[in-house]
Every structure is written in structure tokens, then in C-alpha cells.
Amino acid sequence: MDAVRTIMSPFDGPPPRADHTPLRPGDAIRRAVEVMLGDLVDELLVADDAGTVVGMVTWSDVVAWAIAQQLSAPEP
């Protein structure tokens, strides 16, 4: 299982809105996809156990990860 921390970008911006519960760095990428599709959003914040925002995952991050997975898969 690949974790969100493998695809997230560092976050260094203003305090985020609390529209969505943030992901945790160890959450599965699949969880990020489920939340994005379910809530119709294209970016999610990633927070540590203290609730400090440490990164962001975007739909572009997920797509790039999925393409990389496909390209690295052994050919049949």
C-alpha cells in the first residue's frame, strides 16, 4: 500500500479552511481518491497527528502516481 506521504507536496501557506477532514501522511492513496471523488474536490490537506498541516495532495499528484504505477508494472 502506497501512503499519501509518497505523493504529497509540502504545504507552506495560509491556515487552511476546515471544509474537509485532512488526510494523515500514512493514509492510503486510495483513501485520498475516495475522498476526492466523494466530495468532488481536487485537493486535500495532509496533517500530522497534532493537526498541523504538513502537505497537500492534488488530483494531479494522484494521476501522476497512477501513471507511474502503470509504467513500472511488468508487461504481460
**The CATH number fitting domain 4-72, selected from 3.20.20.330, 3.30.565.10, 3.90.1280.20, 3.40.50.300:** 3.90.1280.20
Residues constituting the chain: 76
Q: Which three cell numbers stand for residue 30?
A: 486510495
Predicted pLDDT at 18: 55
Where in the chain are the domains?
4-72
Q: What is the distance between the alpha carbons of residues 64 and 76, in angstroms, rounded to a whole number? A: 22
Taking the model in full, what pTM does it have?
A: 0.73
Contact 36, 59 (CB under 8 A): yes
The beta strand positions in 1-76, using DSSP E, are 9-10, 43-47, 53-58
Q: How far apart are CA 2 and CA 51, in angstroms?
A: 21
Q: In tens digits, what is the pLDDT along the chain, a chain of 76 residues?
A: 688 778 877 777 665 555 677 899 999 999 999 999 988 888 899 999 988 888 889 999 999 999 998 888 777 7
